[in-house]
């Protein structure tokens, strides 16, 4: 089967142009804005969001949505913190359990969506409430992480081109490379694009629609759990209120990165440019120093609205052609 690669490139290219324009504007307005470390900090501070956006991007490409990723991230921080600090588990075992748990949680939602023909929005919304509720069964308070491995991951600075990157940022980059290969050069990726384009046609072509859906949501759950571990490295704590609304940031990053919400069209790599745009907006506001942090949400909302309208207009144009 020929791989679907004719995704509309315009919005992805527009995102890159927008990112470059924002960086240049920031460089003109603020001294030190374009310094190497400020640029690297965009990736360091948003490594967990990039991993979430990667998983979300694959789900959206399949024609679905996953509203549970922020709650699963928080649950992962709570499970990791409790196992490390209370149960005294070794850190490598904790990491394995958290990742497997996230994948299982997502896979269960994917199975329910497929077997019962339910809307992904409803199922993953239920998953979001369930994961948040489970956080408070573990503890209603924040749990500080003092494990040496997690502390080392938090404090380590890896030299890079005269600056430094965190281990979490390198993990996020590695995950992005893996996801790009998986989406664009594997049979699983071809099935994801086909299902997102037209699920009935994909089934008639003999593709394993059910198995692919389960794997898509399992992958998203895995990414959410991995994002939770990276967030744990970043914050050195587990808390049920961590990452509230992050699922919406992940969706925004994917859409701004050029993936259509209708599924079947887009690039996983666009998650990186989308996350960097969101990070640049936050950095610009931080450098300004006079604007409220709420302006970040306002600007992101405006950008998301514009990109959705552009995608819709492009969809009408494609139908006419």
Q: Residue ranges per domain, the chain? A: 10-29+47-286
Give the pTM: 0.93
In this prediction, residue 300 carries a pLDDT of 85
In this prediction, residue 52 carries a pLDDT of 98
In this prediction, residue 321 carries a pLDDT of 53
**Residue 6 pLDDT > 60, yes or no?**
no
Q: pLDDT digit string (tens) for 187-239? A: 999 999 999 989 999 999 999 999 999 999 999 999 999 999 999 999 999 99
User: CATH classification of 10-29+47-286, choosing from 1.20.120, 3.90.550, 3.30.420, 1.10.3470?
Assistant: 1.10.3470
In this prediction, residue 96 carries a pLDDT of 98
Q: Is 5 helix (H, G, I), strand (E, B) or coil?
A: coil
Q: What is the mean pLDDT of residues 95-109?
A: 98
Q: Average pLDDT of the chain?
A: 91
Give percent of the chain above pLDDT 90: 77
In this prediction, residue 317 carries a pLDDT of 56
Q: pLDDT digit string (tens) for 119-176? A: 999 999 999 999 999 999 999 999 999 999 999 999 999 999 889 999 999 999 999 9
CB 54 within 8 A of CB 175: yes
Q: Is 237 helix (H, G, I), strand (E, B) or coil?
A: strand
C-alpha closest to that of 199 among 1, 53, 6, 64: 64
Return the H-helix or E-strand segment holding 144: strand 143-144
- Tell me the torsion sign for CA atoms 235, 50, 98, 245: positive
In this prediction, residue 297 carries a pLDDT of 83
Distances (CA, A) of 205 to 2, 115, 127, 202: 12, 20, 31, 5
Distances (CA, A) of 213 to 9, 51, 69, 217: 25, 19, 16, 6
Q: pLDDT digit string (tens) for 57-89? A: 999 999 999 999 999 999 999 999 999 999 999
Integer Cα distance of 197 and 99 in angstroms: 29
């Amino acid at each position: 089967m020929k791989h679907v690669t004719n995704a509309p490139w315009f919005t992805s290219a527009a995102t890159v142009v927008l990112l470059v324009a924002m960086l240049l504007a920031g460089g003109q307005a603020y001294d030190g804005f374009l310094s190497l470390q400020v640029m690297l900090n965009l990736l360091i501070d948003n490594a967990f969001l990039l991993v979430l956006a990667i998983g979300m991007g694959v789900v959206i490409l399949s024609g679905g949505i996953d509203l549970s990723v922020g709650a699963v991230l928080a649950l992962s921080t709570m499970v990791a913190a409790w196992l490390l600090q209370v149960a005294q588990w070794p850190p490598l075992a904790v990491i394995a359990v958290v990742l497997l748990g996230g994948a299982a949680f997502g896979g269960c939602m994917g199975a329910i969506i497929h077997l019962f023909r339910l809307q992904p929005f409803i199922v993953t919304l239920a998953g979001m409430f369930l994961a948040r509720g489970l956080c408070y069964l573990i503890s209603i308070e924040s749990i500080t992480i003092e494990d040496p491995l997690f502390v080392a991951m938090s404090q380590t600075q890896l030299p890079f081109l005269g600056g430094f990157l965190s281990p979490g940022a390198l993990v996020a980059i590695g995950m992005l490379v893996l996801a790009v290969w998986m989406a664009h050069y594997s049979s699983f990726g071809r099935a994801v694009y086909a299902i997102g384009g037209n699920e009935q046609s994909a089934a008639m072509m003999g593709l394993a629609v059910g198995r692919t859906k389960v794997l898509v949501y399992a992958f998203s759950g895995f990414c959410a759990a991995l994002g939770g571990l990276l967030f744990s490295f970043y914050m050195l704590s587990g808390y049920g209120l961590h990452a509230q609304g992050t699922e919406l940031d992940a969706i925004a990053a994917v859409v701004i990165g050029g993936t259509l919400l209708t599924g079947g069209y887009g690039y996983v790599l666009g998650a990186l440019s989308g996350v960097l745009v969101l990070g640049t907006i936050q950095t610009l506001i931080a450098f300004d120093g006079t604007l409220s942090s709420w302006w970040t949400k306002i600007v992101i909302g405006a950008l998301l609205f514009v990109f959705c309208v552009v995608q819709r207009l492009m969809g009408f144009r494609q139908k006419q052609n």
